[in-house]
Amino acid sequence: MELIKKLTGKNPSEYESIAKSLVDNSDKELFSALVKQDDFLFDFIKDNVARRIQKACNKDNYLNLLNFFDYYSSSYDTMIAEVLHTFSGDELLPAIKEIYINGNDSNKAYAVKYFSFVNKDLLADIIPLLRQTALSGFEPLSINSIEVLSMLNDEESKKQALTCLDSEDEFTRFEGVKFLVNYQAKDCLNRIIDVMKTSSLSENIACQIPFLIPLDEMLEKDEENTILVLCYIINAIPEILPPSSVIDYSLYNIFEKLLKTPLKSTSSVLLRLAKDKFQELTSNDEYLFDCDRNTKDEIKEINHLLSKLNIKKLDSFLYDELFEESDFVFFALDYVNEIEELITLLDSKNPTLILKVLTLLKEKNALTKHAKELALQHVVNSEIREIINVL
């Protein structure tokens, strides 16, 4: 741990000599220990370490990096691949292909990252294998393989991912979404959004979309769908998304932009949802206990920004989304207090919406026998009927 502390520290006389020794001696023990610290080091520290190791490499010792292939880290894979290609060009490709074919998952993941630096024409023979490793359960290998397939413009793998979106299995659809996002298939954005709208994994899918297109860019092109994506993202914090994602997704800038535009029913739903979420995050120490200072400060700034919102004004817009076909109806429902407005939604063909309304009526001590009978007229699903009967 002492060597790790020096390698990640601020003293050049210490970290330069340790980085040089690491590479010169193929110190697998030290590199393994470094990789095990990935989750405990800030990104900027790992970036510094990667640069220090890269600077220690030269034409006489760069091949020693191959000895680190058993210890995979996404923090150092690009640096290692770049160093190997910088000193060898494409001449090392046959050896790397051999590692890719016969190595373990960690070896393969590093090898595929190396492929992203070589001449595309030299990779045609391994495209079928890349399609296989793109489906690997080892996520780094899968992601790296998809990125290379995208670089090679492999239409067959993209087409296969698109067919997954039509599956009846939710997890297959989600895998298809993740493939297309890593492939950077921006032309598939609308298909992905359509899947998100009907999936039971809507939050998970929404969390993927900003990696395909930045939310602020998407907001300029398609405001309504972007706001819907944001609603699911807000819902996903902190259970699915870590609080630090507020920085990754630039949520402060997006909220600030929305506050400068005239309120609409859709933006009101989002801002109402966000106002409650960030108030909750800042009022409970458990949510931010493990967060770094930047994340805590950002969340507090967002909460301060949203705290200025007039709740009554926001709520007055929500009723425009209280109809069955609205993509925002489930979000808006949580803020509706008028019993009659809720009861009108029981005349719906959507059993999930009906069940949500009945649950809200029960929470408000307003669930009547008449309301249940009205709901049962429109529900065919036996499981949902059973739930309604016991409410």
User: Is 106 a residue whose pLDDT tops 90?
Assistant: yes
* Burial (CB count within 10 angstroms: exposed 0-12, middle 13-18, buried 19+), residue 305: middle
* Confidence at residue 287, expressed as pLDDT on a 0 to 100 scale: 83
* Confidence at residue 346, expressed as pLDDT on a 0 to 100 scale: 87
Q: Which residue has the tokens 């049962």?
A: 376
Mean pLDDT in residue range 324-344: 91
Residue 206: Cβ within 10 Å count: 25
What is 304-337 written as a DSSP string? HHHTTS-HHHHHHHHGGG-STT-TTHHHHHTT--
Q: Could you report the per-residue pLDDT of 207-263, keeping only the tens digit for each?
A: 999 999 999 999 999 999 999 999 999 999 999 999 999 999 999 999 999 999 999
Q: Count the residues in the chain.
A: 391
* Confidence at residue 354, expressed as pLDDT on a 0 to 100 scale: 87
Question: What's the CA gap between 332 and 335, in Å, rounded?
Answer: 6
User: Is 381 a residue whose pLDDT tops 90?
Assistant: no
Give the rounded percent of residues in the chain with a pLDDT score beyond 70: 100
**Cβ atoms of 341 and 319 closer than 8 Å:** yes
Rg (CA), the chain: 26
* Confidence at residue 225, expressed as pLDDT on a 0 to 100 scale: 97
- Evaluate the CA torsion angle 9, 14, 18, 24 in order and state its sign: positive
Q: What Å distances lie between residue 119 and 108, 173, 226, 335, CA to CA?
A: 18, 33, 37, 56
Closest CA to 258 of 210, 300, 309: 309
**Cβ atoms of 145 and 154 closer than 8 Å:** no
* Confidence at residue 1, expressed as pLDDT on a 0 to 100 scale: 79
Burial readout 231-241 (b: 16 or more C-beta within 10 A, e: otherwise): bbbbbbbbeeb
Question: What's the CA gap between 141 and 219, in Å, rounded?
Answer: 32
Question: What's the CA gap between 344 and 348, in Å, rounded?
Answer: 8
User: Is 26 a residue whose pLDDT tops 90?
Assistant: yes
19: pLDDT confidence band, cut at 50, 70 and 90? very high
* Confidence at residue 348, expressed as pLDDT on a 0 to 100 scale: 85
Mean pLDDT in residue range 121-139: 96
User: The whole model's pTM is what?
Assistant: 0.90
Mean predicted lDDT score pLDDT of the chain:
94
Dig out the tokens for 378 from the structure.
């429109």
Q: Could you report the per-residue pLDDT of 85-101, keeping only the tens digit for each?
A: 999 999 999 999 999 99
Q: Could you report the per-residue pLDDT of 141-200, keeping only the tens digit for each?
A: 999 999 999 999 999 999 999 999 999 999 999 999 999 999 999 999 999 999 999 999
Q: What Å distances lie between residue 272 and 111, 224, 328, 363, CA to CA?
A: 47, 16, 12, 20
Q: What Å distances lie between residue 371 and 119, 324, 350, CA to CA?
A: 67, 17, 15
376: pLDDT confidence band, cut at 50, 70 and 90? confident
Q: Could you report the per-residue pLDDT of 279-331, keeping only the tens digit for each?
A: 999 998 788 888 888 999 999 999 999 998 999 999 999 999 999 999 999 99
185 compared with 334, residue with greater pLDDT: 185
Question: What's the CA gap between 142 and 105, in Å, rounded?
Answer: 10
Question: What's the CA gap between 223 and 228, in Å, rounded?
Answer: 9
Question: What's the CA gap between 327 and 330, in Å, rounded?
Answer: 8
What is 152-197 written as a DSSP string? TT-HHHHHHHHHHTT-SSHHHHHHHHHHHHHHT-GGGHHHHHHHHH
User: Is 391 a residue whose pLDDT tops 80?
Assistant: no
Question: What's the CA gap between 210 and 216, in Å, rounded?
Answer: 9
* Confidence at residue 208, expressed as pLDDT on a 0 to 100 scale: 97
* Confidence at residue 336, expressed as pLDDT on a 0 to 100 scale: 87
Mean pLDDT in residue range 18-31: 96
